[in-house]
Each structure stands twice: as structure tokens, then as C-alpha cells.
Structure 1
């Protein structure tokens, strides 16, 4: 297979031997440098580059290759030709330029709003190249490169455009920096050739600088099996050209040694190249034989060459698969697995780079590459560079950000860089709370490891505490769940106790965990007590156990047993006796509650069963009744003398013969709860966190006065339903309690209202209509506190109240109401503050004027059947049967009998005609049993 591979130099003329030095006559300069050799290039650049780009949008590189050494002649001819187009051609060009400029402006505006739209950058760059607008072209390219890695083609265009206009030493140095930057994003043999050739042609640096560039290129792409030979050949030919130039000097005494050293350098390059499996290596071997002579090649070099040829044969099947497989990603995966069996890290890394050049958006490939660097290669500087490229290509992959942070720590990177990395990653929206939490934890771990022992209250400790708090705030504000901050706060408490010997801070953090909804969970108490036992004192442990057995409901037996075990290991017998007595009392109370719950559940189950049986019985009666009516309708159809009438089966629903509705109240009927309290000395609370307990409610109202009783309404399964009643000693305390409306418990606003029996004082809801000239409606207040609003509006006389409207979760809805005592102050506030900024936020202020049409529009937009039902309620009810205590109309079941089967009593008087004979229950029973 290898024997048939053509060397890429075979199309050149045969080399000629001159004084023992091989000189390729057709290649006086290295590969890829021919476009820079024109003597008239500079003149051509200044006279036509921008003009031609503006007219025909041609790439300057293509222009040079096309015209060659006849640039001036061809330019003059083209200018003459362009003049012959006439005015119509000029008009067409103007229209095209106008459309081009319009499209450029549109793309610039679009990218200002959507700066991460990759395709728009590519299109804009191509359009700006056509316009020849180098200033904006540079700006857009730099902006794009900040956001995205650039492909080889984009870099080639950029480098070529800059090379065409670089004249001063400063511009050339800037281009070298650009070339050095271009080789970072993806593996590219062409960019390395461009880099070296430009430095050679423009004489940027000395020979050692050029050699350094080539050595870097060999490290990067020298193992590229199909294209690596190009950079080897360029490097060798550069050295050969240096050797040839030595013969031009007159100093024959110094040239001898330099010439020998240069020949040795070229020989070494040959040997290094022949030891690497590359396409075209047979041609390189023939060149080496011509250079050295067949008899002068040592056996070791031959052996290395033969091994390289064997390696090339082994890999050609994988190279062929990359050409035949539709999805080359699978081909690269198989190829990489093969290379891993050879255990040659440099070749594995080169193959990963080749695969990423074609599949840069594959998270799986980046993760496989970085995992190999972390676990096998373990050169952390290389790992950091690869991770930086990975997150630029796949910024949405959380695992790459996590690995990048760890790689920075392994490489000894600065903490400030890790902090910036965390900030950037959090702005990439990694998709889940777990991913964000992992970012914070990796950063926190680094800060914890950076703290020196014995440094109490040092800057490092302060930074760690601030970072913990920032992480808690970020995660809670983004995901709004208490569970999301549990692990972080536990970790923080443990570090305070174990590493900083700050048991007070540890207790504070653990108490906060209990108060945000974990008082009922035994595991949280056990963890707290274990920390106290290890870093605190025994007395506090006993106090915690005493609190825990009264609060825990998920595993009361477990917490009681833990207390008894603790006293057995740490306490005296008297301590164990006290603990045992308290545990027994608490377990007895819990046992009674469980028995009541079981009894209650059994009763509920019995009621559900009875209700189900009643429903089945009613269904049987309805089916029998329908069958009877159908039979009577059939009889009526067989009797032509009788008037046929259709029985309205659904009319029985309107007359009251339906399934018996459940009239017994629920187990937690609010009206029943209210009857137990005096309305003047009690309040109704709602929107209370489900995790709240009676102690939380008492603590909430402790500033008002003595709380006489607290009753929390619970579901049949014992869970708190979020509302309840609180009774106080007197009416004055009640009034103070009402002032706590919308204050928070565990971050949730609690609604405190008067305890009013709605059966006696029904609430009537209606939309507000009419203008309230003393009340202002303020919008866009989401990030402005009520205290800040009061500070702003207090400049006007008569400020009564400020109401910031919030959701049940406590988050602002973005608007507020400001109430004044007089219309003049309200009007003055509108005139002064409307469309003004408060803390960088523009607010809107207007007189409160709810649209009176909302009520009518609301009724118009309701479903027709609901509107019709509401209208029917307003009609006369004289034809509706009076409902008895059993829920049925006084007419009984007579309405169920079709009029067609009733007797037509024509002999009765008109006065008695309105009263029909009623059917008794026995009559109805006989009718059903026929």
C-alpha cells in the first residue's frame, strides 16, 4: 500500500548534484512563499488593492496569483475597460454598493442585539472585505475572535489581508503577533507554513528565531500523518537555502566550519523526519540517499526508517476510513482507540487535535481529550490550554468548566483567574442547580486549601466566608428552593467548626438550616448534634436532644434512641433517667397521635366506601328509571291517539333528582375553626410556609404581645395546609398583630387579616371602577424597596401609605400604590417623578384609575355557558321548586313522568286544572317494579 503513495515532491525536476550539495533549481524559496516574491508588489498594493476590492469584491491573494509579474499592465487595462462601461454601468455599481452598505448596516445592528450569532459575523466579514473597509473589518474580526474560535479559512483571510498592507516595522510586528495567535484555535499545517514563510520573506527575526518557529510547528503538526511532511520539507529547504547562501561570502576561512555545521543540521533533520510515519516518506528516503550517498547511511537510521514505514502501514487503514465513513467522528474514535494501544502520547494528542479540527462542537470528543490529558499525560500547562479552547467551542458543557477549574488549580494558577472563570461559567446558563453548585464547590475547595494553618480571621478566611455567602445567594435567587442551599450550608458549618474552631458560627448556620424547614427531620438534628459533640460541649448536646424529640416527626423512635445512646456513652445515670422519661412521654404522645390518625383514616375510608356505594345505587336507579321511561315512550308511540312527547332525561338534574351531594363539612372547615375564637381577639393567617410550626408563629407575633393560642389547619394526612388562626389576650394586641401583614417567615410573606365569619359577612368581589385622585400607581418597582419608595415620595406632603404588590412567594410584581391624604400632593408627585430614575431604574407614575370597562369586558369574554348560567340566576325564580331540607323539590318525582302518559282530564274545571294529582312514594316504587 505504502509503495504506491506518491511523494509530494515528485513533480519537481530532478535534483542536480553540485559540489556534494543538492540544490532544487525550481524552489529557490520555501513552499508557499511565491506570492511574496513579486518586485512590484508594494506598488500594486497602494494603487489598486482597495479600489479593486470595492468594485469587484475580489480577494487580494487571488488578484496577485492571477496577475503575477504583469500587475501594472493588467491594472491599466482593467481601468481602461472600466471606463468603457458608460453611465449605465456606473448606475448599476452604485445600486450594488448601496445594497451592500444597507446589508452591512443591518448586520451591524443585528449583532449589536445578538452578539453570539456566528453566521452573521461570517457574512459581515465577507461584505466588509468587498467594501474594503479595513477599520471596521479589523474591529469585527477582533470581536468575533473574542467570542468564538476561528476556522483556518477565516484566519487565512485575516492574515492575508493584513499582510497585504503591512509596511512599517510596527505593522509587521503586529502581523507576527496575529500569526502567533492564529495557530492556537485549531491544528493547521497551512497556518504554520504561512507563519514561517512570512517571517522568512519579511526578515522578521534571525535564523534562530525562524528555527524556533519551525520547531514549534513540528511539535504541533509534525506528527500529522498526511500533512506533516509539508512542514518538515519547508524546514529542511530553509536550512538548505542557508547552506547555499554561505557560498556567496568571500570569507573562505570561516565558511568551512559553518558549512559543515549546517550540513550536519540538515542531516539531522532528514533523520528526524525519516523516523516519523508520514505520507511520502519513500521520496524523502530517496532524497536522503542522494544527500548522504547510499553507502554512507548508518544501520540505526535504516532501522528507524523501516519501523516508521511499518507504523505507516498499520495506520493507513484508519486514514482510509476517514475518507470513506460518512461521519468521520466514528472513524476518528476508532483511530484514537488504536493510537492509545501504542502508548505514544504525542501521536494521541496530535490525532485528537486533527479530529477536533473537523468536529469542534462535539462535547464528547472534548471531554475524552481532556480526560486523557488529566489522567494520562498530566502536563497541566497543556491541559489548561486545551480546556480554554474547549470552553470556547462548547461553553454550555458544565463538565468542561469543572475540569477547567481543577486544571487551573493543578497548574498553580492564580485564584483571581479561577474567580473570573466561575463568573463567566455562571453566565453561560449551565442548565441545572447541580452544575452551578459544583462550580462553587470547586472554587470553595481551592480557597479552603489555600488557607494557612493558624491564620485566624485572615484575608483568606474572610474571602472563603464571603464566597460561601455569595454562592448561597446566587443559588437561592436563581433556583428559589431551600433544598438547593442545604449542602452548601452544611459544608460551611463543618468548615467553621473543624478548620476555624468557630463553634458559634457553626451553631448559627445549623440553626438557620433548622429554621428554613428541617426541624421535623431527624437527620438534620443528628448531624448538628454530632458537630456539637465533636467541637462543642456535652450540655449543648443534651439541650439539642431535648429540642429534637419534640420537633422530629419522621423518625421519633430513632432520635429518642440516639439520645439514650448518647447519655449511655457521655452522661451520668441521672442524665439517662431524665432522657428516658422525656423520651417515653414524647413517644406516648406520638403513639396517641398515630392512633387518632389511624382511626381518622379508617373513618375516612368508611365514608368513601359508603359514598361509592350510594353512587352505585343511584346509578342503578337512574338506569332503571331510564329503562322505564323508554318503555312508556314505546307504549306512547304505539298509541297514535296520544300526543308523542320526548322525555327530557336531563331535566331531572334541574329538578333535584341527582346524586346526593355531600353536605358534611371537611375535617378542617375554616368556619368551624373561627367559631372557637372571638373575632375581636383573633386573626386569620395565610400564605404561611408549609414547614412552619407553632413555635415559628408564636415567635412571629412575639413583638405584639401575649399569644393565647395558635391553631394551624392541617390536611387529613397531618400536613400543614398553610393557614390558621391566632388568638390573643385582648383587642389591642390583635390590632398590633394586623400591622404585621406581609412580614415574612422563612422568606415568605404571611398574610394577616381579621378573623371574620364569611357566612355572616360574605365578601363581594368587584372590579375597581373610577379614578382615585389621592392614590398613585407606580410601575417598574421590581428592584426598589418600599423604604426606598417612602424616601422618594416623602418629599410631598400628606403621604399616607405605600403598598408594594408582591406574589405569594414574596417576590415583587413590579408595581406599587402610593396613597396621599390630598389630591394636590398626588398630582405634584406625578408631575415631578413620572419617567424619572431611582437607583438606575426608570419608574412610571400615574393617578390610579382602574378601567371601569374591565368588569363588563370580563363578563363578555367568559364562556357562553357560564354567562348564560349567570344570567339565569337573575331571572324570576317563581317556577323553581322550593328546596326542602333533604335537597329535593316539593314536587317529588312527578316531573319524571312524561306528559304523554299522564291522564288528560278534560272534565275538570279550569280552576282545578292547575293542580295535578301527586304520586306517592308507593306509586313510584310500583312504577319501577313493573
Structure 2
């Protein structure tokens, strides 16, 4: 039958006392009430047992279960419940005190004393608590026979326990004086047991008590002034001080007085911090911030013992603050490094905040730094991987940290006591791969595991087949990851296996990788053959890669055209929405006019539209794009009317001190160019030529400078690299442009103009209006200028072709740049005349002539 625990509680009220004094009137109601309470308590216990069986990590359920069992008096279940909770969570000082007192009230004797003593030891390990230490000290003095009898063994044991308590909590500013006072009282009790005739022993004991006073007076504790008064009174009893009521430090040794004054100053400095961290009306967030400020102050004072004790106070108040534990362990790592204290703190930190992967990683490193055994490190690692973390990268970090430690131990096989087998590393990698592969697919973390694993298989395991097997297993799950193939190839090249590396290139060059990965692996293969292969190997690689690169380039162009088409459709839809009203059939007079006349009327409008579309200064760039979007949806006549009423302003660039920049990266910005010419200086304006519809850079730009000196310095930077592209920088000469415009399109292309001789027109790179281009093409204009001669017969001799297939051109059609040096032009009727062109039938007969 289970023992029943009788616990004290609050005093009953007057009504309950009346019922207790008159049991006859209430016996039935009392029995009913007791049975109802017992039934509710039993139901609560059963409910909590079910909850804990389903979720053992429910902290509040554990606490309620222990309280219910304690109230119901079920001792055996209560002990098991407390042990179960202690295995999962650190118990609060109040729970430990309650547990120890309950056990002490139930049993006595040497066996029970040892069990209760272990409970107190476990309690003071979990958290810092002055009250728990005082209970522990009192329990030992009362229940330890040797201590109670003041035997030498018992006195030594008690003193050791008191010194431990002072080390743990003797510097506690608010409550540390309680342990000091208990220590003095214990030594004072021993003094009374010494025989008066044993003068030497008595004097030795008096000096021991005096030393405790001196130590306490040198520490900033809350009851420092009271301690001084007690000390002077005690010295007066010993006949050392004649008057204990004199001034504060009168009559005491100078050394003690100086230490006391210093401690008093330290106490006065810390008093405001102590007041703020102990505020009852403050929230937890505010108090935690106050603790952090207090810690910062203590760290600046440079006393590690005081800093550590304050950290212990803080984590006792806020046990699940992971930032606080991280800060605490980081401080200990920097100050104490491999001590047992650091190891114990990490053990408590991971128990309070098991969901923080960084704490587990640093715990493993601390154990390795402290030369812990393999069994201890393995046990901590096994605990860590069963925790629940916020992301899988934390699991990855723990696995890799474990492998790092194993690798270091195996590498130092002759320098460490316990050597390890490489199979442990392989098993750890396999567990990491099995657990993380479903969650880290096509991610860098998975690549880190397998690349590290393969390297160790070859370097430590001396097994090339196993190393290749690691890469092959990764390719099965993540074959579309380019870096996986590159890592595999790099390993083979590093080991000198050129044929195996080439075989891997043949396997992966035809795969489709994200982004530009497909092109990258092709170019990587070519570089590989240049560096390691023969000429035949290089030729075979080129033969395989050329059609593949052409295919990828065609696919890229198709994707870009789709994107451009999508953008164009979107802009057309926007333009249609912005059009105020639809055109009616028959309302446009230009549609009823002849084609030639309609083109003639449209030419001025086209030129004005081009004036609007020219690339302006950086400040006008946004306005240009908006105007282009609005003008796209308007008819030629509507634009002509609008430009007639409001002629657009066309910026005039004289290009007196302008540099023309080509081969510019499409991603280059104005800031990039300005930074490129920073060492030159004198930059006035920058114009990057862009496509009208897509808004993308054309790879050309103009940079205006203040004078020729700065321009010459800029041109001197020709062939310099910007964003991976070698720039071509030349001086822009407007005089050559005017000359070119006067003679046609034979002059060199410059200042952003691109000659399209196939269509018989010259288009400006900043212009992309298809309507304007078609109008110019129909009229035979160049550069948006009207032709000097309107007679088509006079222009027959000026027809030009460009390209490779010019060998079969009829004699009347001149190749690009051809001039007849033998023909002598004469004035009069011969000027402007040329040979009459042959018809199609004449050409056909000429070729069929035998």
C-alpha cells in the first residue's frame, strides 16, 4: 500500500472551523465533498498521464502532474514523475527544495541521508540558488552524524561544503551574506565546544572566525555595514577592541579598513544595477535588458568570477533565453576555454535550450578541447541529433562538427590515447546523407557532405572506389546540380585520373543545368582539353561541343525573343488603355491618300517622333521611356498633329569633348561608368544607348568631359576591363559624321549609328521606332535626312550589296565600296548617267548562253 504524504497548507477559514467543530451536521456533506474532490483529482491525474504519454516534452504538464500526485499523496508515482521530469528538464530551485524536504520528512537514517544529499547536489548543479544552498547546509548540519557530533571528519566535510557554497554564491551581491553568516555561525558553534583549557585550539578557532569576517568585509555585499558592526562587536567580546560603538573603521587593522572602504565603493556602484534587476513591476524583457547592462558593466571591471556569478543569476531568472546562454558560453570559451566549468555550463545550456543547434556544436568542440573521452562525445552527439531544430542547416552543422572531431582524432592516431576506426566516420556520413538528402536536395549543404565524404574516403580511408561511389550516389539524387559534376571531375583531376575526368565530361555535357550551367560545363570541358588533352582530344571535344553550344544559343535567343514579345504585348496593351478614343473607319484622311503622298506627309512626323525617341541625359531617361510607351499606340497623323502643336525638344550634342565607349557590358550602369573614369575626372554627362522597347543597354555609351585634357586621359584607358569586358574607347568626332551624312552611308559607322545597307537606310542605335524605319526605307533616306536627288534614275548606279556572295553580282550592281577608276566622268549630259540596267529576261539569257 502506498505511503500517504501529509503536507502543511493554509489555515482553514472560520466557516470550515465551524464545520469541523460540528461534524454531526455536516458529516454527509463532508463525505460527499471529499469524494467529489478525490474523483476530480483522480480524473486530473489520469488526464495528465495520457497527455505525458503522448507528449513527454510538455513542461507544464509535468509540473501539474507532480502537484496532483503530491496532493493525492501517491509517493511512488511522485518519485517516478520527478525523476522523469528531471531527465528531460532542469528543475527549478523551488522544485528541488520541495523534493528534498518531502524525502527528508518520509525517512531517516544513513541510506536516506545519502539519497537526499544527492538530490541537493543535483539541485545546486542545475541553477544558482542561495536559498537552496542554505537548505543544503542546514540539512547536512542537522542530519549528518559526524557533523552534528563535531568530529574532525564531520567538521572537515562541513567546511568543504561551506567553501563550495561560497565559491558558487559568496559573491552574490543581494543574498551572498546569508552563506557567510551561516559559515560564521557554524565556526562559532565549534568554538563553544572547545575546552577552555585548550588555549591553542581555542585561539586557532578564533583566528579562523576572524579570517571569515575579514574575507566577508572585502566583498561588496548588501549587508556590508551590518557585517562591520557584527565584526567589531565580536572583536570587543574577544577583548581586542575597547569600544565597538566608535566610528566605522576606528580600531580595526588598516588593511581590513582599506578593503572594507573599497568594497563599500564597489557596492555603491552596483546598487543601482541591483535595484533595476530586482524590480517586481518590470516585465521580463526589461529585466533581461537590465541584466545584460549589468553584465556589460561587470565585464568592463575585469573580474571573471563576478561575471560568471552574474551570468548564473541571469540564467536562473531566464532559463530558456537562448541568446543569454550563447553569450554566457561564448564568454567562458574566451576566458576559461577547456575547464570543467565550461563543460558543465554547456551541459546545462543544452538542457535548457535543446533547440539551439549552435549550443550543441560548441558543446562538442568544448568536449574535444577538454580531451573528453570518445564515449562522452558520442553520447552528446546522439542527444543532439534527436532534438528539434528550426532548420536543417543546424543538423548539417552538427554532423560536420562530429566528422571534424573524428577526422582530427584519426589523423593524430599516434598522439591520442584512444585511436578510432575510419568506419565511424563513414557511418556518420551515411547517417547524415540518409537524414538530410530528402531535405537538402539540390542544395549546397548536400554538396558539402558528399565532397567532404569523398575526400576523406580517399585520403583517410584509402579507398578510391568508395570515393567514387559517394559522388555517384549524389548524382543519382542531384544529377541536375552542376557543382556536383564539377566536384566529381575536380577530384579525378586532382588524383591525376585524366581519362576518368574526360569520361565524366562526356556524361554531363549534354545535360541541361539551371542558368548558364550548360554553357559553363561545355567551356569547362574545352579548358580541360587545352590543359590536359592531346590535339586529337581537343578536336573531338570541339566536334561534340560545337552543335551543343549552337543549340543552347538558339534556345537562349528563342527565350529572349519570347520575353521581348511579352514585353511588347504588355506595352501595346498599356498604350491601348491610354488611348482616349478609338479611330473610326474612314476618319483618317491619310489612309485614303496615295501611298507616295502618304509617305511624304508622314516623313516630318517620323522625324519628329525620332527626335522624341533619341537617348537623352540621365535625368531625361525615365521621361523618354514614358513618352515612347504613350506614342506607340498613336497613329502617324495623330503624332504629326501633336508634334506640330508641341514640337519636341531635341537635345543637341556637339561632341566637342566626348568619348565613344563600345563593347560595354549590358549590365553596366551609369555609376559603373562614372566609377571607371574616377581616376580621370572631369565627367560631365554619361549617355548609355538603350533599346526603346526592352529598355536594355546596347553596349554603347557616350561620356562627355569638361575639356580635351580629361578626354585624352579617358581615351588612354582604351582596352581596359570593366565588369569582365574590355572596353573600346575612342574620341567622338562630329565632323566625320557630317561628312558621312553628305556622301551617304560609305563613311565609317560612328556615334552609335548602325548602317543597314540591306534595307538602304542608316538607323541610329538609340532609335527603335519600326514605323519611322519603314518610312525611311521607302524613301531611300539615310540617317533621317532627305535625299539630294529625287530622280530614281540618278540613283541606279549607287545600289550596293554587302556580304560574301558578291561574285555573281551583275555588272550594273556594284559591290560595297566599289569605284570605277577607268571611267572618266564628263560634264554635261554624261554626268549622272550610267549603263542601262538589264532586265530579268536579259540576265536569264546571259546565264543560259553557251
- With the shorter chain as reference, the TM-score category is 0.5 to 0.7
Task: Give the match for residue 96 of structure 2.
Answer: 155
Tell me the distance in 2 between the aligned counterparts of 1:520 and 1:478.
15
The superposition leaves residues 198-249 of structure 1 with CA deviations (integer Å, 9 ceiling, x where unpaired) of 111112541111111111110111000010000000001100000011138x
The CA RMSD measured in Å over matched residues stands at 3.7
Tell me the distance in 1 between the aligned counterparts of 2:570 and 2:69.
78
Tell me the distance in 2 between the aligned counterparts of 1:533 and 1:594.
27
Partner secondary structure for residue 450 of structure 1:
helix
Asked if 1:223 is matched to 2:178, the reply is no
Tell me the distance in 2 between the aligned counterparts of 1:520 and 1:146.
44
Asked if 1:485 is matched to 2:433, the reply is no
1:413 corresponds, among 348, 365, 372, to 372
Asked if 1:430 is matched to 2:389, the reply is yes
Task: Give the match for residue 58 of structure 1.
Answer: 8
Shift of 1:114: 2.6
Compared CA separation, residues 604 and 539, structure 1 to 2 (3 A): closer
Query: Matched residue pairs, number?
Result: 549
Task: Give the match for residue 196 of structure 1.
Answer: 137
Task: Give the match for residue 499 of structure 1.
Answer: 460
1:343 corresponds, among 288, 302, 315, to 302
User: Contact (CA 8 Å) 2:130, 2:179: kept in 1 or not?
Assistant: yes
The superposition leaves residues 679-703 of structure 1 with CA deviations (integer Å, 9 ceiling, x where unpaired) of xxxxxxxxxxxxxxxxxxxxxxxxx
Tell me the distance in 2 between the aligned counterparts of 1:332 and 1:352.
8
Asked if 1:115 is matched to 2:56, the reply is yes
Asked if 1:101 is matched to 2:60, the reply is no
1:288 corresponds, among 220, 226, 231, to 231
The superposition leaves residues 300-354 of structure 1 with CA deviations (integer Å, 9 ceiling, x where unpaired) of 2222111111111111111122244442111111100000001111100111111
Asked if 1:135 is matched to 2:83, the reply is no
User: Contact (CA 8 Å) 2:218, 2:262: kept in 1 or not?
Assistant: yes
Tell me the distance in 1 between the aligned counterparts of 2:206 and 2:111.
35
Shift of 1:626: 14
1:512 corresponds, among 457, 473, 476, to 473
1:262 corresponds, among 202, 205, 211, to 205
Tell me the distance in 2 between the aligned counterparts of 1:284 and 1:301.
13
Structure 1 window deviating more from structure 2 (114-123 vs 260-269): it is 114-123
Task: Give the match for residue 857 of structure 1.
Answer: none
Shift of 1:526: 4.0
Tell me the distance in 1 between the aligned counterparts of 2:26 and 2:176.
49
Tell me the distance in 2 between the aligned counterparts of 1:613 and 1:257.
106
Shift of 1:154: 1.6
1:316 corresponds, among 271, 274, 294, to 271
Tell me the distance in 2 between the aligned counterparts of 1:314 and 1:200.
36
Shift of 1:424: 2.6
Partner secondary structure for residue 451 of structure 1:
helix
Unpaired stretches in structure 1, ≥5 consecutive residues: 1-48, 67-76, 628-930
Shift of 1:189: 0.6
TM-score, scaled relative to structure 1: 0.54
Task: Give the match for residue 646 of structure 2.
Answer: none
Query: Which contiguous aligned blocks of 4+ residues in structure 1 show a shift greater than 6 angstroms?
Result: 77-84, 605-620, 623-627
Asked if 1:585 is matched to 2:549, the reply is no
Shift of 1:111: 2.3
Asked if 1:276 is matched to 2:231, the reply is no
Partner secondary structure for residue 132 of structure 2:
helix
1:532 corresponds, among 469, 476, 492, to 492
Task: Give the match for residue 262 of structure 2.
Answer: 307
Partner secondary structure for residue 319 of structure 2:
coil
1:298 corresponds, among 253, 278, 285, to 253
Compared CA separation, residues 520 and 128, structure 1 to 2 (3 A): closer
Shift of 1:131: 2.3
User: Contact (CA 8 Å) 1:549, 1:583: kept in 2 or not?
Assistant: no
The superposition leaves residues 707-737 of structure 1 with CA deviations (integer Å, 9 ceiling, x where unpaired) of xxxxxxxxxxxxxxxxxxxxxxxxxxxxxxx
Tell me the distance in 1 between the aligned counterparts of 2:220 and 2:192.
29
Asked if 1:165 is matched to 2:120, the reply is no
Task: Give the match for residue 208 of structure 1.
Answer: 156
User: Contact (CA 8 Å) 1:520, 1:552: kept in 2 or not?
Assistant: no
Shift of 1:280: 1.0
User: Contact (CA 8 Å) 1:229, 1:278: kept in 2 or not?
Assistant: yes
Task: Give the match for residue 355 of structure 1.
Answer: 314
Write the mapping of 1:176-187 to structure 2, written as runs, cut at 5 A.
176-187=117-128
Partner secondary structure for residue 412 of structure 1:
coil
User: Contact (CA 8 Å) 2:413, 2:420: kept in 1 or not?
Assistant: no
Write the mapping of 1:435-454 to structure 2, written as runs, cut at 5 A.
435-452=394-411
Tell me the distance in 2 between the aligned counterparts of 1:147 and 1:520.
41
Shift of 1:453: 5.7
Tell me the distance in 2 between the aligned counterparts of 1:360 and 1:385.
15
The superposition leaves residues 381-404 of structure 1 with CA deviations (integer Å, 9 ceiling, x where unpaired) of 112211221122222222222222
The superposition leaves residues 69-90 of structure 1 with CA deviations (integer Å, 9 ceiling, x where unpaired) of xxxxxxxx99988688644433
Compared CA separation, residues 300 and 591, structure 1 to 2 (3 A): same
Tell me the distance in 2 between the aligned counterparts of 1:366 and 1:544.
49
